[in-house]
Amino acid sequence: MKWERVPGALIYQVEEEVTTAAGGKEWQRVELTSRPKLVVEGRPSDQFHKFRICAVGTKAQSPYAEALYARAA
């Protein structure tokens, strides 16, 4: 995945929507990265996966960007 760099961001928090044991949905942190891109490994290639990203700076955290769907290569 790639996204636009956010001025002032030190890291980006990437989360994936997962299904809970009870069958509900929740966001789970996948990675913290300083780069505006990430390769997420270990996901089935026959499914789409839903991710969201926010930028974290020294003083604040941005709202999460609109969720995006990605499929493994």
- pLDDT, one tens digit per residue, over 24-60 is 999 999 999 999 999 888 887 778 899 999 999 998 9
How many Å apart are CA 68 and CA 57, to the nearest integer?
Answer: 22
pLDDT the model gives residue 62: 94
Residue 71 DSSP one-character state: E
User: 71 falls in which pLDDT band (50, 70, 90)?
Assistant: confident
pTM for this predicted structure: 0.87
State whether the Cα torsion 9-12-13-16 is positive or negative. Answer: positive
